[in-house]
């Protein structure tokens, strides 16, 4: 459930933020949301969120503009004129950026938890030795 | 362990995001490019992308309206000329901004600034040619004249008004791909683009090769094989007449080829592939519409975006339709409510080379008439993306810049200086501004008088029934052979003796025969008293002369058919001679091809294999006819001269026998390369014409086109060049026009208008060119509207 919420929120926050700021808002939002929501597994959830965000957008643009750009992007990047490849590589790029960001966000959260746990242990050890 | 994992994860994430954002070396910034919100996908457009745009700007004086027709041709309506050119700049930048930037950078030698060190040799060559210097001279002229000053300033403001409001998302796709941003437009960039055109159209630059031929074989040989005018020039631009300078004799110098030729560069880079053009006019008496007809089709590189941007400009006293060059205000070819004009390139050589001898290795002084004159040094600073800034010192002499120094053998202390009319001050912008507004012949003559370089054949027709043609531009006054070969720069007598005065220029108005034409052919017959060097083969001129003399009256469709004509006079001249040589020769298994060649109508149809066979055969023939010229850096003299030589195949002497054997041997070789006259050898496949993106990005090229023609047909389509704007105008009471260019109005590869015209151009169709009144848009369908308002104080 948390993972689905994570994916939906990345799409709802990351994509509009990219409009106003930079494309980096997408992986940044994936990283921050992973930090707070801790989706499982984080890498896969990030990958899906990024792929859906950019893949659906690219496919939507391709359909809306009657296929004017996809073949050219495919030709530019992959020496093919199949627009599906262009949508695919776009989705993959978005997915990878979000996947690594989500993984880092989640690991940061785990690291923070672990530090808290250690702190609690040390403090309890300290209090035990005192009394 | 956790810490290490976390650090590794962040390191990898930052590395991936950094690479995707900034790119590295050859790896493009994929994140920025593929981001569907701001990257390449954001440049994909729907057909109704341009429905409505409202902006206001402080530099606009009164409201401006722009309506796009169904092909995205803007019709601009302004209340004054300042606003008209502001809007022209604005709307051109909207659709062609990257092209403008690229052309200005190309001309100004600034490509390595954005594309890296690979482009440095090109940039250096442009700087050494003095293109920036030339543009600065032009800019000074533009700004000196109140009309051209006002036009160029308003246009610059309009372009910058578009640039100012752009975000990364709106950048043309090439800026994103090549990872740089647009910079403000300046009048100098406009001047640079005009110089780019001037340089593109300057040809007949074979001085070094001609010098080697002269030195090795002598003057007679040079003039025979590389003539400037021949007795077969029966289709001169201007009819035979009495010339005012019949008794004039220029100072004649002692001409001798310079010594030490082995120390010259092997060749000076130049290319003139099919940069010809056609234009002609028919008088009202010979026109089926009862009004003069004017046709023009300039043959230029087939690039994308197209060199032309079509539009209609309307303001009080201004109502003109035609094509502009993006980056340049006004219209270059077109028609208004009273008159029409068109251009072809003059064949005159306007670029000469001089060897200058420096005093010492410092190269601060050069010898001129037994005196040492100081050079003027100009340091060109070339910024290189990802590399060191390069400073190149170009030395200017009385002739012009010393273009080649380091390509000479070290220690010779000499260089090649270039004298080019493009370096002379001229106000071409004023010419086009006045042509756009002209109402009668005197306006036409005044307008073209400001044009400097290179000389163009301006053709003219008006609603009063006048037709005319003038070759206009600076033509150096030279003595025979001067400028055809390299000259020593240390002799005063080798200097140009000034320029032809206006009354000497080739001109003709309202001839009795009822038509005038130019296809870059020699402007005069052999009896003309002055020396005119530089020529194009006369195949196209002979063909149009034949077509125009064929009927007593012509309609619009005739004009269009002539522009699409595929008959090659070169084949018509050469093939019978070549077939004659085969008679009695022992040629086996050639019946199918011989039959096809005998039945051929000399037309270069796209699907036919016969032109492919003929071209191969002819090319093998001429390479055997002129084996000696390769060592002088030449393939062979012109095709016309080659055909003259082939005429001896009918002789019974040893020369005739030898020629017949050359033709037969060439035929055997060609036969071994071709199987049968089927689709495998179709001319269109051999030629593989396609429109190429200016930055040579294959994804943005057009597909290979199904086109016939060659450089010698009126429809002069080669693999890389062709008719870039076909226009026919009937000068009726309210002139009507038809036209088309290969490409589309939008320079954005993600637009439906990018290749919009290509299919129709390929099929030989024309679009009506309509000067639509502003009110008519209330009932006409429009692809979009722009309203530009003055900013409220």
Position B651 confidence tier, pLDDT thresholds 50, 70, 90:
confident
Cβ of B34 and A54 within 8 Å? yes
B665 vs B584, more confident: B665
Res B482: pLDDT: 86
Pairing of the two strands B74-77 and B309-315: parallel
Measured between CB atoms, which of A27, A68, A108 is closest to B752? A68
Rounded average pLDDT over B192-198: 95
Q: Tell me the C-alpha to C-alpha distance, in Å, between residue B80 and each of B102, B133, B150, B302.
A: 30, 33, 12, 35
pLDDT digits (tens, 9 = 90+) for B378-426: 999 999 998 999 999 999 999 999 998 765 555 568 889 999 999 998 9
pLDDT at A46 over 70: yes
Interchain contact A116–B (C-beta under 8 A)? no
Helix (H) or strand (E) segment spanning residue B433: helix B428-437
How far does the CA of residue B650 sit from the closest CA of chain A (Å)? 54
Rounded average pLDDT over B522-547: 87
Cβ of A24 and B38 within 8 Å? no
Rounded average pLDDT over B231-241: 74
pLDDT at B717 over 70: yes
B-chain CB neighbours of A22 within 8 Å are 21, 38
Share of chain B above pLDDT 70, in %: 95
SS (H, E, C) B662-685: HHHHHHHHHHHHCCCCCHHHCHHH
Cβ within 8 Å of residue B36, ≥6 positions away: A54, A57, A58, A61, A90, B42
CB B347 within 8 A of CB B536: yes
Interatomic CA distance for residues B455 and B442, integer angstroms: 19
CB B172 within 8 A of CB B43: yes
Position B148 confidence tier, pLDDT thresholds 50, 70, 90:
very high
A-chain CB neighbours of B749 within 8 Å are 69, 72
Interatomic CA distance for residues B187 and B207, integer angstroms: 34
Interchain contact A25–B (C-beta under 8 A)? no
Q: Tell me the pLDDT of chain B averaged across its residues.
A: 91
- B227-252: b or e for each residue (b if 16 or more CB lie within 10 Å)? bbbbeebebbbbeeeebeeeeeeeee
CA angle B583, B586, B589 (to 5 degrees): 100
pLDDT at B7 over 60: yes
Measured between CB atoms, which of B37, B46, B47 is closest to A23? B37
Interatomic CA distance for residues B106 and B119, integer angstroms: 10
Interface of B with A in 737-756 (CB under 8 A): 749-752
pLDDT at B164 over 60: yes
CB B617 within 8 A of CB B670: yes
Res A127: pLDDT: 65
Interchain contact B23–A (C-beta under 8 A)? no
Q: How many CB atoms lie within 10 A of CB B727?
A: 30
B484 vs B318, more confident: B318
User: CA nearest B12 in A: which residue?
Assistant: A100
Position B271 confidence tier, pLDDT thresholds 50, 70, 90:
low
Interface of A with B in 91-110 (CB under 8 A): 93-94, 96-97, 100-101, 103-104, 107-108, 110
SS (H, E, C) B345-357: ECCCCCEEEEEEE
ipTM of the complex: 0.89
Interchain contact B21–A (C-beta under 8 A)? yes
Position A35 confidence tier, pLDDT thresholds 50, 70, 90:
confident
pLDDT digits (tens, 9 = 90+) for B75-131: 999 999 999 999 999 999 999 999 999 999 999 999 999 999 999 999 999 999 999
pLDDT digits (tens, 9 = 90+) for B20-57: 888 887 778 899 999 999 999 999 999 888 878 999 99
pLDDT digits (tens, 9 = 90+) for B239-265: 766 777 766 766 666 666 677 776 676
Interatomic CA distance for residues B723 and B705, integer angstroms: 14
Interatomic CA distance for residues A37 and B518, integer angstroms: 77
Res B769: pLDDT: 98
pLDDT digits (tens, 9 = 90+) for B497-525: 889 988 888 899 999 999 999 999 888 87
Position B545 confidence tier, pLDDT thresholds 50, 70, 90:
very high
Closest CA relative to residue B414, chosen from B485, B356, B373, B492: B356
Interatomic CA distance for residues B207 and B267, integer angstroms: 9
Interatomic CA distance for residues B739 and B731, integer angstroms: 14
Rounded average pLDDT over B180-200: 95
CB B315 within 8 A of CB B60: no
Reading the block at residue B279, the tokens are 């234009």
**Range ranked top by mean pLDDT from A76-85, B187-196, B219-228, B401-410:** B187-196
Q: Which residue has the tokens 């019974």?
A: B652
Burial status of residue B220 (CB atoms within 10 A of its CB: 0-12, 13-18, 19 or more): exposed
Res A131: pLDDT: 47
Torsion of CA B434, B440, B445, B449, to 10 degrees: -10
Interatomic CA distance for residues B29 and A77, integer angstroms: 12
Res B763: pLDDT: 96
Res B435: pLDDT: 98
CB B472 within 8 A of CB B451: yes
Helix (H) or strand (E) segment spanning residue B77: strand B74-77
Res B268: pLDDT: 67
Closest CA relative to residue B398, chosen from B454, B452, B354: B354
pLDDT at B739 over 70: yes
SS (H, E, C) A84-118: HHHHHHHHHHHHHHHHHHHHHHHHHHHHHHHHHHH
A-chain CB neighbours of B13 within 8 Å are 27, 31, 100-101, 103-104
Reading the block at residue B532, the tokens are 């005119």
Interatomic CA distance for residues B707 and B722, integer angstroms: 10
CB B86 within 8 A of CB B156: no
Radius of gyration of the CA atoms of chain A, in A: 20
Interatomic CA distance for residues B17 and B14, integer angstroms: 5
How far does the CA of residue A49 sit from the closest CA of chain B (Å)? 14
pLDDT at B272 over 70: no
Res A79: pLDDT: 85
pLDDT digits (tens, 9 = 90+) for B275-302: 689 999 999 999 999 999 999 999 999 9
Res B67: pLDDT: 96
């Amino acid at each position: 459930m948390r993972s689905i919420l994570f994916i939906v929120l990345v799409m709802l926050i990351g994509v509009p933020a990219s409009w106003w700021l930079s494309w980096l808002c997408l992986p940044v939002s994936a990283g921050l949301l992973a930090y707070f929501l801790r989706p499982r597994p984080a890498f896969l959830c990030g990958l899906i969120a990024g792929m859906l965000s950019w893949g659906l957008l690219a496919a939507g643009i391709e359909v809306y503009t009657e296929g004017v750009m996809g073949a050219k992007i495919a030709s530019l990047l992959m020496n093919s004129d199949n627009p599906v490849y262009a949508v695919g590589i776009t989705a993959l790029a978005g997915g990878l950026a979000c996947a690594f960001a989500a993984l880092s966000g989640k690991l940061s959260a785990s690291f923070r938890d672990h530090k808290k746990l250690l702190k609690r242990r040390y403090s309890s050890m300290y209090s035990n030795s005192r009394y | 362990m956790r810490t290490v994992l976390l650090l590794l994860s962040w390191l990898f994430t930052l590395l991936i995001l950094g690479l995707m954002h900034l790119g590295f070396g050859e790896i493009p910034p994929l994140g920025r490019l593929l981001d569907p919100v701001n990257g390449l996908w954001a440049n994909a457009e729907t057909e109704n992308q341009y429905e409505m745009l409202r902006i206001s700007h402080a530099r606009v004086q009164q409201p401006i309206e722009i309506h796009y027709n169904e092909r995205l041709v803007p019709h601009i309506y302004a209340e004054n000329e300042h606003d008209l050119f502001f809007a022209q700049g604005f709307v051109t930048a909207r659709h062609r901004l990257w092209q403008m930037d690229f052309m200005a950078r190309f001309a100004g030698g600034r490509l390595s600034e954005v594309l890296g060190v690979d482009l440095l040799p090109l940039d250096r060559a442009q700087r050494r040619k003095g293109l920036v210097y030339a543009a600065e001279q032009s800019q000074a002229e533009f700004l000196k004249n109140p009309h051209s000053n006002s036009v160029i300033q308003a246009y610059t403001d309009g372009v910058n008004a578009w640039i100012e409001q752009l975000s990364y998302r709106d950048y043309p796709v090439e800026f994103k791909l090549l990872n740089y941003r647009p910079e403000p437009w300046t009048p100098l960039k406009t001047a640079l683009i005009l110089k780019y055109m001037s340089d593109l159209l300057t040809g007949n630059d074979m001085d070094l090769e001609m010098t080697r031929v002269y030195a090795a074989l002598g003057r007679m040989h040079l003039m025979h094989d590389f003539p400037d005018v021949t007795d077969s020039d029966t289709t001169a631009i201007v009819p035979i007449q009495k010339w005012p300078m019949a008794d004039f004799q220029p100072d004649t110098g002692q001409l001798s080829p310079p010594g030490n030729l082995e120390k010259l560069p092997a060749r000076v880079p130049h290319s003139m592939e099919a940069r010809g053009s056609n234009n002609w006019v028919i008088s009202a008496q010979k026109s089926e519409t009862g009004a003069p007809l004017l046709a023009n089709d300039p043959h230029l590189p087939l690039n994308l975006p197209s060199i032309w941007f079509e539009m209609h400009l309307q303001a009080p006293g201004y109502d003109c339709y035609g094509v502009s060059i993006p980056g340049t205000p006004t219209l270059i070819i077109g028609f208004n409510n009273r008159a029409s004009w068109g251009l072809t390139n003059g064949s005159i050589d306007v670029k000469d080379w001089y060897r200058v001898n420096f005093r010492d290795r410092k190269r601060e002084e050069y010898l001129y008439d037994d005196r040492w004159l100081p050079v003027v040094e100009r340091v060109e600073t070339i910024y290189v993306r990802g590399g060191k800034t390069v400073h190149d010192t170009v030395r200017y002499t009385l002739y012009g810049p010393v273009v080649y120094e380091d390509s000479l053998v070290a220690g010779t202390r000499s260089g090649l200086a270039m004298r080019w009319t493009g370096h002379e001050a001229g106000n071409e912008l004023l010419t086009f501004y006045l042509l756009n507004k002209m109402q009668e012949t005197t306006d036409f003559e005044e307008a073209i008088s400001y044009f400097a370089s290179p000389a163009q054949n301006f053709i003219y027709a008006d609603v009063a029934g006048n037709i005319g043609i003038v070759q206009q531009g600076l033509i150096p006054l030279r003595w025979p052979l001067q400028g055809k070969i390299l000259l020593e720069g240390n002799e005063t007598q080798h200097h140009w003796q000034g320029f032809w005065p206006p009354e000497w220029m080739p001109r003709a108005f309202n001839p009795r025969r009822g038509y005038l034409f130019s296809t870059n052919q020699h402007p005069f017959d052999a009896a003309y008293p002055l020396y005119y060097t530089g020529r194009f083969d006369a195949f196209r001129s002979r063909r149009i002369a034949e077509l125009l003399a064929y009927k007593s009256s012509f309609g619009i469709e005739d004009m269009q058919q002539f522009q699409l004509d595929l008959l090659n006079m070169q084949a018509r001249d050469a093939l019978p001679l070549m077939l004659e040589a085969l008679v009695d020769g022992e040629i086996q298994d050639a019946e199918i091809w011989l039959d096809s060649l005998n039945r051929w109508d000399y037309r270069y149809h796209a699907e036919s294999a016969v032109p492919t066979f003929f071209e191969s055969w002819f090319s093998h023939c001429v390479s055997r006819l002129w084996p000696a010229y390769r060592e002088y850096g030449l393939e062979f003299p012109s095709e016309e001269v080659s055909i003259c030589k082939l005429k001896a195949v009918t002789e019974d002497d040893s020369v005739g026998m030898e020629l017949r054997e050359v033709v037969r041997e060439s035929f055997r070789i060609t036969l071994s390369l071709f199987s049968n006259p089927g689709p495998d050898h179709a001319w269109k496949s051999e030629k593989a014409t396609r429109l190429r993106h200016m930055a040579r990005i294959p994804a943005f090229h057009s597909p290979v086109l199904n086109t016939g023609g060659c450089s010698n047909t009126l429809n002069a389509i080669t693999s890389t060049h062709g008719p870039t704007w076909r226009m026919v105008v009937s000068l009726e009471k309210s002139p009507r026009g038809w036209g088309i260019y290969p490409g589309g109005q939008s320079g954005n590869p993600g637009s439906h208008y990018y290749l919009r015209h290509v299919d129709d151009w390929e099929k030989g169709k024309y679009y009506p060119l309509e000067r639509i009144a502003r009110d008519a848009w209330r009932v006409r369908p429009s692809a979009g509207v722009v309203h530009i308002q003055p900013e409220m104080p």
